[in-house]
Amino acid sequence: MKTEVLKTAGGAAFSVDVEDWFHLLEVENAPAAADWDDLPSRVERGFMRLLDLFSQKGVSVTCFFLGWVAERHPHLVREAWARGHEIGSHGHRHRLVCSMGADLFHDDALRSRHVLEDLIGEPVRWHRAAGFSVTENAPWFFEELARTGYTHDSSVFPAAHGHGGLPGAPVAPHRIATPAGKIIEFPVSVVSVLGRPLCFFGGGYLRVSPYLLVRSMARRVIAEGRPVAFYLHPREVDPGHPRLPLSAKRRFKSYTCIDGTYLKVSRLLDDFPVTTFGACLAGTSAGGAARANA
């Protein structure tokens, strides 16, 4: 596939992966999908808290909804849309890309897009894989994504990552040409620290990093001519959500510093003029060398 890095004006984009407290990946004690409907949902509590914060700050963001959540909480999709936020898909059942295979991924991504489009009455162009789980073991990913009608994606973690990652991928937004069409990829933002690409801008990375470090690293990304991409989950601003019995390491990654996340996000919104992923990339053009990927 041919990859072409895009010229951007920097800036900052913010996104929310709209999933519930039990949608953790690669956790031994995670509830089976067949049992999800029997669990108490907390997604509305955390998500509405974020929507109200965004309204207070006067910003629009991109909301990547699980299709499963959208089916059970359609009012959340409509509310986000009514408030001017961009709607994207987080897949339907929150499964790792490499665990599905091309056909199952195609069906999962397509089902989620149809659910969301039926709710807002507009095309849904953006997609984000569960856990940023695009790896070299899924070389079909971008072609299948294009076949399902998406044109934009934010699934690539361009470094080693707990759910896979794609080390060596471009760290800036780029266009990928596939036999089924082109995909514009807005990867997770990373910064080189002592020669290693590190992320400070979402999930556990954002929660545990001191605010001044997050702000400094975000400004560094922008100074390099790249837009910085922040991301969060509703459970991360809902300190009262139920906890799963996890190993000490995973408990640290999933639950540490949740109490301070809301304030940290509020400060980010004061310090950075965030917008949607689509608005952040508006007016981009091709730049840099194109390269062929196997």
Residue 241 clears pLDDT 80, i.e. is over it: yes
What is the sign, positive or negative, of the torsion defined by CA atoms of 280, 281, 283, 284? positive
What pTM was computed for the model?
A: 0.94
Kindly report, residue by residue over 142-191, the tens digit of the pLDDT.
999 999 999 999 999 999 877 778 999 999 999 999 999 999 999 999 99
- Domain parsing of the chain, residue ranges: 2-292
Which tokens go with 175? Answer: 């266009």
Q: How much is the mean pLDDT over the chain? A: 93
Number of residues that make up the chain: 294
pLDDT score for 294 = 31
How much of the chain, in percent, has pLDDT values that exceed 90? 84
Contact at 8 Å (CB) between 159 and 197? yes
Class of domain 2-292: alpha beta
Nearest to 19 by CA among 1, 39, 46: 46
Which tokens go with 140? Answer: 């079909």
Provide φ and ψ at 185, rounded to 5°. -105, 125
